[in-house]
Every structure is written in C-alpha cells, then in structure tokens.
C-alpha cells in the first residue's frame, strides 16, 4: 500500500463482476442481459465496470441519467446505452449527440424526441415505458395503446424496446408482481393484434431474475445482482454470485475506557467495566451511516467487534474488549477476513435500510482500488 493513501478504502473485484454477469447470463437462457451501471455502478466505478462488461460483449448497458451515459461514452464505451430515467426536453439533443437510447414515457415526450431527431436528420432509438403499478414514470398500462400507436406514426424514431418495472419483486408475496407482469403482457398484445413485430420486451430486475423466471422475456436488467448482492434470502438467490466490493479501514488510535465513561456524541454507550476501544478513520461523511451506531460490527484481527457510541462524521469507535489491536491494524467493514464475513446485507439490516442504499452511499472520498 502507498504510504500516502488514506487508511480507509474500498476494494473492487472485477473478476467477481465478470463471474456474476456470466452466471446471470447462463441462468436466463435465451434472454439477453442488460447490466445496470447507474450511480457509478452502484459505487463500484462506472468506467472500470463498464469496460469489463464491454470486454465480455454484454449486449447493452443501463443507466439512469443522460449524464451517466455521456460519461461512459467519454470512457470509450461503445456498447448501446439505455437511459432508463426521464429526461427534460433540453436534454434530448444530448442523447442524439452521444448515441444514447431514450426512454419514452409519454406521448408528449415521444413527439419531442421525434421532432428533435427530424431536425438533426437522424433516427432516435427509443424504448417505450409502461407503468404497470410503480406510479413513477411511464404511461399507465390501461392507456398504453395511445403511446404504442403514436410511436407508429413517428417518422424519426426506431422503437427498439418496450418495458416496465416491478415495484415489489423482492417481496415474500409475489401477487402484485405477477399482476404487473399480467398487465404488461396485456399491453404487449397490441403488436400481434395489429400484425406488427414486437419490440424487445423487458421488466425483470435483479429480484425478478431470481424469483420470477416467467418475467425474463427478451431482456433482463440486473443491478444489485451484478455486484454480488441480493435482497432475497439465500434460498431464493439461486445463482452462485460473488460479492465484488470490500470496505476496509485501519486502526488509528487505541485507548482504555474506564467503566461508566460514555463514548462519542450524546453518550449513548458506556462500558460496564474497563474496556479497550479503538478508533477508525471512517464515518457518515464516507457513507458509514450514523444509523449503524451501537448496532454494527467490524472485523479486526480475526474477531468481530461492536461499533460503540455514535458514528461520527469522520471517525467510528470499536469496543475490542480484552483483545489487542495496534495502529495500522486492518478493520473490515464489508467483506471477508480470515474466518469471518460482513456483508452489504448485514449493514443494511443493522441500518434498517436496503443494500442499494449502503452501496450507493459510500462517498467519493473513499478511494477505490480495482482488482482485475
């Protein structure tokens, strides 16, 4: 390790991401796989992850915003890139300039895209967005015929795909997810009714890839699963995936705290007897959430120890009891160390949130180190 590097960092295993992509691809059979690399590839580094996926000949990539698509183009990513989120009218020329695929969630937006493409003397690539129960963006399923018909009348648009999004494919009860799929399939009936070829159909996110094989259709959109994390139980996570991200820090201070002396802001924890407490240079400004206070564990010298007192902006205290730890000893916040492991899912449970938020909340001031 470079002595000048900060003693808190994330390690990203790109071979694990490759393994996960290939495992998902094998699992879904004839369906194609669109890895989702939005939000800096869920904190794993959009450029590095996208480059590896491009080397694997992934058919396309998904992002949330046009700015993310442009960043990938500047990183020499030539794969088709679908911007899944909504866009305002002034951004439409950026899609055309950088060869990005649009989401068309309404007739008005479709017309805006068509007019801009005509003016630019080009053809816009579009996926139509159907709202089957998320109530976010997309035309309601019961009004979808209007959007599909309007797309047929556009002169400078190529409808490559049509898609929806599950609201609760990670729930124990999949009744609503199945209702959404049923609604989506009813919308898709427009094409055979009009003797038209059906565009690429997609609705399955990570949880649906695992729990709803009937939703795989032509294309699936793994996000969390690409990075080796799942919201579902191990029994449902029926693909052999590998966690790609580890989060490490180092001990920077050691002290003995006497019985009854409170630790950190607000004095929310104090030992009942003298104990050894070490400080790690990581806190909520790094994305190690304040909600982990007095709840999380870290691994130091092959033992799990408790986070004690409130997590600070830049520092976190750990009770190591009678164990020993020295400045420079490594602490594992996420990942494996000897006989122990702490997962993203663990941190999510301790913080009463979801794995997505844990990963995407790790801030840019935490250096990333990529392993091939």
Q: Are 333 and 284 in contact (CB under 8 A)?
A: no
Q: In the prediction, which pLDDT does 3 show?
A: 52
Q: In the prediction, which pLDDT does 235 show?
A: 56
Instruction: Give the active site residues.
Output: 38, 265
Beta bridge partners of 102: 126
CA torsion sign, 237 to 243 to 245 to 248?
positive
What pTM, to 2 d.p., does this model score? Answer: 0.95
Q: In the prediction, which pLDDT does 142 show?
A: 98
Mapped onto helix, strand or coil, the DSSP state of residue 209 is: helix
Q: Are 185 and 141 in contact (CB under 8 A)?
A: no
Q: Is pLDDT at 234 greater than 80 in this prediction?
A: no
Give residue for tokens 């959430």.
289
Between strands 139-140 and 245-250, the pairing is unpaired
Q: Is pLDDT at 369 greater than 60 in this prediction?
A: yes
What torsion, rounded to 10 degrees, do the Cα atoms 222, 339, 2, 228 define? 0
* DSSP percent split of the chain into helix, strand, coil, nearest 5: 35, 25, 40
- The DSSP output letter for 339 is T
> What is the pLDDT of the chain when averaged over all its residues?
96
% of the chain residues with pLDDT over 70: 98
CATH number listed for the domain at residues 14-227: 3.20.20.10
Kindly list the distances between the CA atom of residue 359 and the CA atoms of 10, 45, 135, in Å, as whole numbers in the listed order: 11, 11, 25
Q: Phi, psi (5° rounding) for residue 307? A: -70, 130
Half-sphere exposure of 83 (CA within 13 A, CB side): 29
Residue range 320-338: average pLDDT?
96
Residue range 304-328: average pLDDT?
97
Domains 14-227 and 245-371 share a fold: no
Per domain, the residue ranges of the chain are 14-227, 245-371
pLDDT tens figures, 32-66: 999 999 999 999 999 999 999 999 999 999 999 99
CATH 2.40.37.10 corresponds to the domain 245-371:
yes
Between strands 316-321 and 368-371, the pairing is unpaired
């Amino acid at each position: 390790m470079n002595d000048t590097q900060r003693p808190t960092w994330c390690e990203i295993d790109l071979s694990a991401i490759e393994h996960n992509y290939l495992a998902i691809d094998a699992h879904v059979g004839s369906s194609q796989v669109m890895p989702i690399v939005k939000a800096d590839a869920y904190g794993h580094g959009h450029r590095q992850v996208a480059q590896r996926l491009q080397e694997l000949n992934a058919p396309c990539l998904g992002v949330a915003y046009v700015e993310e698509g442009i960043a990938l183009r500047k990183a020499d990513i030539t794969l088709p890139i679908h911007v899944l989120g909504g866009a305002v009218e002034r951004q439409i020329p950026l899609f055309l300039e950088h060869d990005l695929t649009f989401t068309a969630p309404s007739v008005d937006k479709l017309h805006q895209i068509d007019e801009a493409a005509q003016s630019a003397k080009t053809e816009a690539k579009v996926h139509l967005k159907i709202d089957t129960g998320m109530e976010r963006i997309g035309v309601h399923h019961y009004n979808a015929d209007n959007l599909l018909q309007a797309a047929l009348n556009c002169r400078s648009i190529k409808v490559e795909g049509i898609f929806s999004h599950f609201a609760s494919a990670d729930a124990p009860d999949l009744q609503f997810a199945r209702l959404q799929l049923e609604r989506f399939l009813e919308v898709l009936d427009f094409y055979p009714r009009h003797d038209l070829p059906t565009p690429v159909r997609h609705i399955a996110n990570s949880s649906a890839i695992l729990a709803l094989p009937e939703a795989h259709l032509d294309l699936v959109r793994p996000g969390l699963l690409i990075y080796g994390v799942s919201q579902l139980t191990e029994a449902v996570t029926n693909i052999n995936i590998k966690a790609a991200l580890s989060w490490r820090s180092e001990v920077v201070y050691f002290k003995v705290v006497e019985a009854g002396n409170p630790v950190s802001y607000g004095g929310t924890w104090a030992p009942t007897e003298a104990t050894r407490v070490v400080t790690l240079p990581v806190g909520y400004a790094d994305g190690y959430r304040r909600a982990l206070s007095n709840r999380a564990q870290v691994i130091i010298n092959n033992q799990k120890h408790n986070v004690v007192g409130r997590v600070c902006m830049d520092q976190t205290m750990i009770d190591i009891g009678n164990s020993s730890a020295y400045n420079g000893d490594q602490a594992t916040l996420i990942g494996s160390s000897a006989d122990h492991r702490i997962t993203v899912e663990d941190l999510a449970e301790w913080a009463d949130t979801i794995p997505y938020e844990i990963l995407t909340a790790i801030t840019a001031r935490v250096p990333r180190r990529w392993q091939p």
